[in-house]
Structure 1
């Protein structure tokens, strides 16, 4: 009976912790993460090998269509909705013909709101607390008992 009460107590404690939101939910990112500077280097006429060296292997490469490579990325922030981004490359005879997709598409207003929380809403004196200059003792002399050498 004592064991049953302890088990029920532990279960109730676990449920209360989960209910309070104290359990950490990590960000989950999967798939290919491409740099915009690398994608900007893609040019029509590049070979598959050149693209492979630049971007890495695609996450989806179907054996039924050898002329299409798909780079897919998913991201879930703290258990929220999943964001899926795709970038498709089309080849013709081992030569890059077309790129399409929304891999770097971002809502500008959403990004702006996300960065607002890092801006101070009060006047900030950026020189306050700066110890590199502007002190009252600018004579350049060393304190007594200090020879000036480390």
Structure 2
């Protein structure tokens, strides 16, 4: 009976913790990840093949309308509201005629804050890098690719 009460207590505590939001919820990014510089290179008159090479395959390409490609991306930050971004390309006879959508719309200050959050400011001393010699390198003069092996001398 004591094991049952202990198990029931642990189960209720786990449910309470999950209900309080203490359980980690990851950010979820789905759909196409487009780069602004690639989208800026789109020009009317480009062929479907050129657009495919530049942006990749669209996330939505309907069989009923071959002249419309939709690039869709959704992002949810730790269980928060879902952000949906779309870019619609319209073709006429396999050439691009129109682009529309809000794929890169957003609050610029918020985007800067998000970018700075992931910016790692590591001190780098390029003079030291991998090419510098340490005390151990001076002691050990034999390494890979140095000196001749017995196979090299026998081939002469």
TM-score by length of 2: 0.68
Whether 2:11 is the aligned partner of 1:21: answer no
Whether 2:111 is the aligned partner of 1:105: answer no
Alignment of 1:43-122 (within 5 A): 43-111=43-111, 114=113
Q: Distance in 2 between matches of 1:109 and 1:56?
A: 29
Q: Which consecutive unaligned segments of at least 5 residues does structure 1 have?
A: 119-129, 133-148
Q: After the TM superposition, which parts of structure 1 deviate over 6 Å for at least 4 consecutive aligned residues?
A: none
Q: Return closer, same or farther for 1:81/1:60 CA change in 2, 3 Å cut-off.
A: same
- Kindly report the root-mean-square deviation, in angstroms, between the aligned alpha carbons of the 2 structures: 2.3
> How far is the alpha carbon of 1:46 from its aligned partner?
0.6
User: Helix, strand or coil for the counterpart of 2:72?
Assistant: strand
Q: Distance in 1 between matches of 2:40 and 2:111?
A: 21
Match of 1:135 in 2: none
Q: Distance in 2 between matches of 1:4 and 1:70?
A: 55
> How far is the alpha carbon of 1:3 from its aligned partner?
4.1
Q: Deviations over 1:24-57 (max 9, x none)?
A: 1100000001000110111111100110111010
Whether 2:3 is the aligned partner of 1:6: answer no
Q: Distance in 2 between matches of 1:18 and 1:55?
A: 40
TM-score by length of 1: 0.71
Q: Distance in 1 between matches of 2:89 and 2:40?
A: 13
